[in-house]
Amino acid sequence: MFGSTAFLVILLLSLFVFAVPEWLKYYFTLGLLTAGIALSTSWCTGVLPDAGQTCELSLFTAATGTRMVLVIDSLSAFFILVINFTVLVGFLYARGYLEPYRARMNALRFSIHYFSYLWLWISMLMVVMVRDGLSFLIVWEIMALSSFFLVIFDAEERSIMKTGISYLIQMHVGMFFILVAFLIVQQDTGRMSFDALGEYFGRHRNLPVFLLFFAGFAIKAGFIPLHTWLPEAHPAAPSHVSGVMSGVMIKMGIYGIVRVLAAMQSDLLVTGVIILIISLVSGVLGVMMAIVQHDLKRLLAYHSIENIGIIGIGLGLGVIGQATGNHTLSLLGYSGGLLHVLNHSLFKSLLFFNAGSVYLAAHTRNMEQTGGLMKRMPWTAILFLTGSLAICGLPPFNGFISEYLIYMGMFGSLSGANLFHSILIVGSIAALSLIGGLAIFCFTKAFGIVFLGEPRSDQAGHAREAGKSMIYPQLATAAMIIFIGLGSPLVVKPVFGIVGQIWNLGAQPLVSGAFTANLAQLSLAGGIFVVTVAVLLLYRRYHLSRRVVETGPTWGCGYTAGSAKQQYTATSFAYNYNHIAKPLLQTRKEIEEIGEDEIFPHGRKFLSHSDDLFKRHLVDRPVDLVSGLLKRIAVMQTGQIRHYILYAFVFMLLVLLLAMLKII
Amino acid sequence: MAGFVLIAVAAFFFPGVILRTKSIASGRKGPGIFQPWKDIAVLFRKGSVFSDTTGLIFRIAPSVTLATVTGAMLFLPFAEQKAVLSFEGDFIMFAYLLALGKFFTIIAALDTGSSFEGMGASREALFSMLVEPAFFILIATFAMFTGYTSFSVIFNHFFITGNDYVLIYSIIGAYLLVQIAMIENSRLPVDDPKTHLELTMIHEVMILDYSGFDKALIHIGTYLKFAIYGSLIYNLVVPAGWNVILQTGLFFAVQALFAVVIGFTESFRARNKMNKNPKFILTLSSIALIAFMVILILTEKLA
């Protein structure tokens, strides 16, 4: 009872963000946030170690008699921890990030920003805790609204406002699907709640309602082809918000999918195959589109789609495992997916924070204008490198662990599988390895172009390292990344427990025991690797200390007047790739050819741009079509009263006519 | 442990054998078999020159890359002996460790700010990305055929099934591994290590700015990687149950044969046109799919 009162107090106090003096606002919000995080984390401690326990909190009783109840089971607890960590780190980072904005924005803007940030966090917590359908939709809506206000924080630019509106619309399309799904369940069972799902699924075909839920949640999560809001909204938002949105908010979609999957009872195989195929497409296309981006944050946004794809591959495999009675596959697939939720929240938020630091220092997100930042911002560079290695799934970082689990599920299920299953799994293995390869291509490009070489613009040349208050929180995230990478058994075991409990997987203790041993070996291999690197580097240092070490210019093939402009750019790095991927990506070039009679060519521009095919055909085309149609109808709006009276007259005539013919 | 040591020993002769083969094939007297290692000894004695543009990444990359290669060696078994580290899914770690090395080689090249090295980096990134699915499909067929997911156990059970047609699969697998090794080590027909023009290089152009100690580490890494792939090929064609002394002999014979094949390929074949390479590499994935079909038939899933 104590917990719920405290929680309500925090909710009420959040209003005072508007009242406190300007210098106190940040710390006031931070205080509330820390208190709330401590509180909600304490709820989890009772639930996590002993999977199967749930913790119930009655928040308040409405006048109508319905109680607002928060239920925390192990799945909620897992998501609460993921949310809390990234939200806190993001807010600590925000202090330094928002510094330059203080001069040009008034206090009210900041109040709205902090208030929305608090409520984004609160709504996400509630999303994973409420079970009642109506309450769920309300907090889901609050989440969309608060994140909308966060996205448009910097809305001096019209384009950002436009992006925000488009985001809001797409979120509501998603909500509509969820609402319809809940209503169908309510029609049948009389209850509108996640708890009623099991009852409904027990009596009816599972697939249609699942697809409705999936469509709704997939818009939030960003599965292709429902991802179109994501690469627009993430770059527009301030970086700490992008980090939180990409790190945890889109995972709320995954949470919803997991809740629904946990209740499903039939149609499992087809569901699993659908999820798997959509996820594979999201994974491969997401990273393929990421490679051709010039905007660092947009590149990261497309990578979120890829990682959501990887999470989805895990979940899809889990469902297939359930359908075929292969509990090991289920356990590994679901655990890999869930662990990737945690992992992605860490490295993606870290990368977004870094991108924010780069933006503050170099005043651009365009990679072609950066370069050589590692010398100017060493800490940011090392953190970005950590994040890049982790997101590529390379050992000994955390991304590898979740991908390893998913791979193991796939490899392990191959030997006894039938023809269809074998082909599906081998295809998925090939796709996942391709995703890994493409991610390496993408992040060698991102890291190499932004941080290495020489600065490509004056702004980049004058960049300064981000402040300490921005670096320290990121170090915490990086430490978590390495901790999960090297100490994986400690983290994976609870995840196994959660998965085993949600889906009642009988084989769980046996498999998780054997797997923890494998993971321990994995940690050992990682440890050996780290030690080898350390030994080699120490010896190298000793070795070079006794040799002549000089510096000179980079080898320019004999040409000594090379400039920073001659370096490889992001576009040229991706040129080869672009050549192959052209049919899928439709990159456009704009160049004015040199005419034959032009003896002294004047200055020219070269533009290359890659559209998102899905956005063009799924969003832009239909919207253009509808608005074109509406514009044509708008001729009727003449602004002259006599015309309107005529319309009314014609309408009444029509009604009369139809009534006479007994049509209405 | 035996696997680890034998690979290290094989790496000692490997580049020399390639070199000798090429000399003989082109009718030259050529350098001796230990010339590559003598070159490395020279590099160790020399000092280093670093470009002003480069920073930390450029300096740590060779050490990291070598560590990934030695790390990958830990997973390879020999005969019936288990590898130093053997656990379920060790081949995933194997492949991803090598990819980590690639990552560092690529960003080290970008660290120099040279357009040549950027070009090489871009090509290497693309080609190694395209080759990834072929390797994973291949090990998926291993896992599917034997039912195990660790190099040591897979190779121990490879020939036990008593199905003589396994040999067909072994040959396809060995062919694939040879090709993958050529791409991963940037040799013909994808890349020509002896080309003299920066514009046509891939791997060599990425390490243009290295000298002394770091360059020696890079070369050692390449030689070890050859022997690693040689050892994989060996495990695929020789049953693990045979006599150990015979096997030791056969191990070196297979490694030598592999080196000779590389030497002959490089003597009689021209490098692919650069924009043909992606097609060439993707063909490997389709050959891997053929290996998959063979396994489907062998395990009687596809009759």
Transcribe A155-173 into DSSP letters. TTSHHHHHHHHHHHHHHHH
CA diameter of chain A: 106
Return the SS3 of B49. strand
What are the pLDDT digits (tens) for A154-168?
Answer: 767 778 888 888 889
Query: 3-class secondary structure for A402-423?
Result: HHHHHHHHHHHCCCCCCHHHHH
- From the CB of residue B248, how many other CB atoms can be counted at a distance below 10 Å? 15
- The rounded distance, in Å, linking the Cα atoms of B119 and B202 is 8
Q: Quick check: bond before A396 cis, omega within 30?
A: yes
Residue A120 has pLDDT above 90, yes or no: yes
pLDDT at A52: 63
Radius of gyration of chain A (CA): 27
Q: How far is the alpha carbon of A560 from chain B, nearest alpha carbon, in Å?
A: 11
Closest by CA to B175, choosing from B284, B265, B275, B257, is B284
The residue ranking higher by pLDDT, A95 or A611, is A95
A105: left (phi > 0), else alpha (psi -120 to 50), else beta? beta
pLDDT at A567: 84
- The rounded distance, in Å, linking the Cα atoms of A111 and A116 is 8
Hey, is the C-beta of A510 within 8 angstroms of any chain B C-beta?
A: no
Interface test with B, best of A292, A335, A404, A441 (most B CBs within 10 A): A441
Residue B37 has pLDDT above 50, yes or no: yes
As a whole number, mean pLDDT of residues A292-311 equals 92
Pairing mode, if any, of strands A67-72 and A549-552? unpaired
Q: What are phi and psi of B147, to 5 degrees?
A: 85, 10
Q: Which amino acid is at A21?
A: P
- From the CB of residue A609, how many other CB atoms can be counted at a distance below 10 Å? 11
- The rounded distance, in Å, linking the Cα atoms of B191 and B188 is 5
Residue A51 has pLDDT above 60, yes or no: no
Query: 3-class secondary structure for A548-566?
Result: CEEEECCCCCCCCCCCHHH
Hey, is the C-beta of B195 within 8 angstroms of any chain A C-beta?
A: no
**And the tokens for B41?**
């000894």
Instruction: Determine whether A627 is exposed, middle or buried from the number of CB atoms within 10 Å of its CB (0-12, 13-18, 19+).
Output: exposed
Q: How far is the alpha carbon of B97 from chain A, nearest alpha carbon, in Å?
A: 6
Using an 8 Å CB-CB cutoff, list chain A residues near B55.
374-375, 452
- The rounded distance, in Å, linking the Cα atoms of A386 and A349 is 12
Hey, is the C-beta of B130 within 8 angstroms of any chain A C-beta?
A: yes
**And the tokens for A218?**
């997939």
pLDDT at B241: 79
What are the pLDDT digits (tens) for B44-75?
Answer: 999 899 988 888 999 999 999 999 999 999 99
| Cβ–Cβ gap B67/A580 under 8 Å | no
What are the pLDDT digits (tens) for A401-424?
Answer: 999 999 999 998 887 778 888 889
- The rounded distance, in Å, linking the Cα atoms of A155 and A174 is 24
What are the pLDDT digits (tens) for B247-266?
Answer: 889 999 999 999 999 999 88
Q: Which of B57, B68, B86 sits opposite A529 (nearest CB)?
A: B68
Range in A185-194, A257-266, B193-202 the model is least confident about:
B193-202
Residue-wise burial string across B23-62, b where 16 or more C-beta atoms lie within 10 A, e elsewhere:
beeeeeeeeeeeebbeebeebeeeebbbbebbbebbbbbb
Residue A561 has pLDDT above 70, yes or no: no
Residue B196 has pLDDT above 80, yes or no: no
Alpha helices in A452-487 (DSSP H): 458-461, 468-486
Instruction: Determine whether B161 is exposed, middle or buried from the number of CB atoms within 10 Å of its CB (0-12, 13-18, 19+).
Output: middle
Hey, is the C-beta of B99 within 8 angstroms of any chain A C-beta?
A: yes
**And the tokens for A309?**
């794809």
At residue A440 the predicted structure's pLDDT band, cuts being 50, 70 and 90, is: very high
Q: Which residues pair with A61 in a beta bridge?
A: A67
- The rounded distance, in Å, linking the Cα atoms of A59 and A97 is 35
Q: Which of B55, B96, B112 sits opposite A375 (nearest CB)?
A: B55
Query: Average pLDDT, whole number, for chain A?
Result: 87
The residue ranking higher by pLDDT, A35 or A103, is A35
Query: Average pLDDT, whole number, for chain B?
Result: 88
As a whole number, mean pLDDT of residues B23-27 equals 91
Domain-by-domain residue ranges, chain A? Answer: 1-266, 270-542+569-589, 612-664
Residue B82 has pLDDT above 50, yes or no: yes
Domain-by-domain residue ranges, chain B? Answer: 2-298
H or E stretch covering A337: helix A327-362
Orientation angle between helical segments B166-184 and B212-237, nearest 10 degrees: 170
Q: What percent of chain A has pLDDT over 90?
A: 44
Terminal alpha carbon distance of chain A: 58
Q: How far is the alpha carbon of A205 from chain B, nearest alpha carbon, in Å?
A: 31
What are the pLDDT digits (tens) for A243-274?
Answer: 999 999 999 999 999 999 988 888 889 999 99
The residue ranking higher by pLDDT, A126 or A584, is A126
Residue A620 has pLDDT above 90, yes or no: no
Instruction: Determine whether B13 is exposed, middle or buried from the number of CB atoms within 10 Å of its CB (0-12, 13-18, 19+).
Output: buried
Q: Which residues pair with A53 in a beta bridge?
A: A51
Residues 6+ away with beta carbon under 8 Å from B12: B37, B223
Q: Quick check: bond before B193 cis, omega within 30?
A: no
| Cβ–Cβ gap A430/B285 under 8 Å | yes
- The rounded distance, in Å, linking the Cα atoms of A265 and A206 is 7
- The rounded distance, in Å, linking the Cα atoms of A128 and A117 is 17
Please tell me the number of Cα atoms within 13 Å of B208 on its side-chain side. 29
CA diameter of chain B: 63
DSSP state of A185: H
- The rounded distance, in Å, linking the Cα atoms of B231 and B252 is 9
Radius of gyration of chain B (CA): 19
Hey, is the C-beta of B293 within 8 angstroms of any chain A C-beta?
A: no
Using an 8 Å CB-CB cutoff, list chain A residues near B114.
554-556, 562, 567
At residue B170 the predicted structure's pLDDT band, cuts being 50, 70 and 90, is: confident
DSSP state of A183: H
What does each C-alpha distance from A10 to A3, A14, A18, A118 come to in angstroms? 11, 6, 14, 10
| Cβ–Cβ gap B53/A577 under 8 Å | no
- The rounded distance, in Å, linking the Cα atoms of A403 and A293 is 25
As a whole number, mean pLDDT of residues A643-655 equals 92
At residue A508 the predicted structure's pLDDT band, cuts being 50, 70 and 90, is: low
Cα torsion A556, A558, A561, A566: sign: negative
Q: Which of A434, A517, A537 sits opposite B133 (nearest CB)?
A: A434
Instruction: Determine whether A418 is exposed, middle or buried from the number of CB atoms within 10 Å of its CB (0-12, 13-18, 19+).
Output: exposed
Orientation angle between helical segments A74-102 and A327-362, nearest 10 degrees: 10
B-proximal residues of A, 519-548, CB under 8 Å: 521-522, 524-525, 528-529, 532-533, 536-537, 540, 543-544, 547-548
- The rounded distance, in Å, linking the Cα atoms of A229 and A353 is 20
The residue ranking higher by pLDDT, A607 or B267, is B267
Pairing mode, if any, of strands A55-61 and A606-610? unpaired
At residue A62 the predicted structure's pLDDT band, cuts being 50, 70 and 90, is: low
pLDDT at A1: 47
B81: left (phi > 0), else alpha (psi -120 to 50), else beta? beta
Q: What are phi and psi of B81, to 5 degrees?
A: -75, 145
Q: What are phi and psi of B126, to 5 degrees?
A: -65, -45
Q: What are phi and psi of A251, to 5 degrees?
A: -70, -15
Q: Which amino acid is at B128?
A: S
Q: Which of B114, B126, B213 sits opposite A577 (nearest CB)?
A: B126
B-proximal residues of A, 378-417, CB under 8 Å: 378, 385, 389, 392-395, 400, 403-404, 407-408, 410-412, 414-417
H or E stretch covering A7: helix A2-13
